[in-house]
Amino acid sequence: MPDSASNVTRPAHSSWFPRGLTLLQDPALNKGSAFTPRERDVLGLRGLLPPHVNSQAEQVARVLENFHRLPTTLEKYIFMTALHDRNEALFFRVVIENTDEMMPIIYTPTVGLGCQHFGHIYQRPRGVFVTAEDRGQIGSLLRNWPRQDVAMIVVTDGERILGLGDLGSNGMGIPVGKLALYTACAGVPPTQCLPVMLDVGTNNAALRDDPLYLGLAQPRLTGQAYDDLVDEFITAARELFPGVVIQFEDFANHNAFRLLEKYRNRICTFNDDIQGTAAVALAGLYSALRVTQGELAQQRLLFMGAGEAATGIADLAVAAMVADGVDAATARRCCWLFDSKGLVVAGRGELAAHKQPYAHEHAAIGDFGAAVRALRPTAIIGVAAVAGSFTQQIIEEMTRLNERPIVFALSNPTSKSECTAAQAYAWSGGRALFACGSPFDAVALGGQTFVPRQGNNSYIFPGVGLGAIAVRTRHVTDEMFMASARALARQVTPQDLAQGSLYPPLKNVREVSVQIAAAVAEVAFEQGLAGIERPGDLAAHMRRCMYEPTYPCYA
């Protein structure tokens, strides 16, 4: 990443510089009606645009006017996708200046709806589709990507999209949306971002039967052939884009854990569903403990779910306790998992490897409410995408057990949430320390207004990516995510806590990302992983690296 990642003046007279309609069709260069009279003359645009020259601020106003006219979130998603495909600088200016309104549209929860309808609303290609039929030629396929300075790849195989399951090639909406947040929230230049879909088929029969489905209409590739495809992609990507950070996204449990373990010490990579979710949840716990005045090692965490998110959070919480001087066995005993078969306990048999560290000695319990009564947790954390699983009886029991019960309903999209904010506050008499995976409106109760905030990974992964790129770290480590959690929690003010907010406002996310990136970089230098000389001021270095969506002067 250059020392300054803002848009720069480009020589319009250069032989390679596009002109006319070609320029207007390049979203990285297009300014639309903001091209000046001089630029229109030099670049062959005279007559191709209406005569009035708009400022970017005027263009933003026009975008918002049309955005607010649209009746549904899906239509707004399509509208913003079209803007992204037409004029990147304007798209990111709109998102950055209207983060609270735009984030739920361009990412969760609406991106899930966009993925479900992907083949029906498709307009323009974005990113690279690598299919099971491309084995042996993935390198040449990636060379078709027009930019060589790729620094961040988000890759999915579409098997576990949010809480929606196997969406196959439709899952491309997730890497596209994720990378939009890397730019909007942390200033990673959009030209350095590459979304990748590993289309290995789908086991979703309804999709395969849909005539408008755009992916491979065949069962999923598995076994050694699948592993070989992933490995060929990783090898080709690193060869073409040296130093690239590769983020695994929305892989199913049976692949997510083993791929992370396979590659984490070989390349610069992480899995946001495991590690990013863990960091944002740990930050929320740190914020909640400022209210309860408790210590992390004194908590008992009961997870509704036992997949990537649950064990990722548990692993990072355990690591944080160990860093505070608690022995690992004691720390693990603070974390309990509840899966589709009930409480995860020792002796149950046939447990996946990622669950085994949390299979404690206890009688089997098949009902989550009974598990709450038996274990007396201080926090319940929902990450299983089982809508409504935090019932009134469970919240009331948590409130009986704890003066300030910690209730994290982190599943998304909204239709999969374990409970709503209004339910959590009403059923606890306003005592719940609540965080959510999908956005909820403020709740007025008993003369107080509670402002719930999302335990959204967008607080974490953009800053992690910025920090990793800016210091060219060779690996992304668990210690970096622990540092990220602490950095995020430090951004929560007493005023935030007083209104029930365990995270800072999203409008502050770029500064939050600066602090997280600096914390990541600090760990990279401490661990000897950084590829540059240490700057004197890490936060200032991060700000210099951040892209700003301003229009350059071309002539």
* Residues designated catalytic: 107, 178
CB 240 within 8 A of CB 142: yes
Helix (H, G, I), strand (E, B) or coil at 292: helix
Q: How many helices (H) and strands (E) does the chain have?
A: 24, 13
Spell 15-31 as b/e; 16+ CB within 10 A means b: eebeeeeebbeebebbb
Q: Which residue blocks in 450-508 are alpha helix, DSSP H?
A: 461-471, 478-490, 494-498
| Cα 47-50-52 angle, rounded to 5 deg | 120
| Cα 88-457-465 angle, rounded to 5 deg | 60
- 530's torsion region: left (phi>0), alpha (psi -120 to 50) or beta? beta
CA separation for the pair 493, 476 (Å, rounded)? 28
Place of tokens 């602490």: 486
E strand or H helix that includes residue 75: helix 73-86
CA separation for the pair 275, 282 (Å, rounded)? 10
E strand or H helix that includes residue 269: strand 269-271
Closest to 488 measured CA to CA, from 464, 468, 466, 472: 464
Q: Which residue blocks in 351-440 are alpha helix, DSSP H?
A: 368-375, 392-401, 421-427
Tokens of 370: 């009974």
CB 551 within 8 A of CB 34: yes
Helix (H, G, I), strand (E, B) or coil at 226: helix
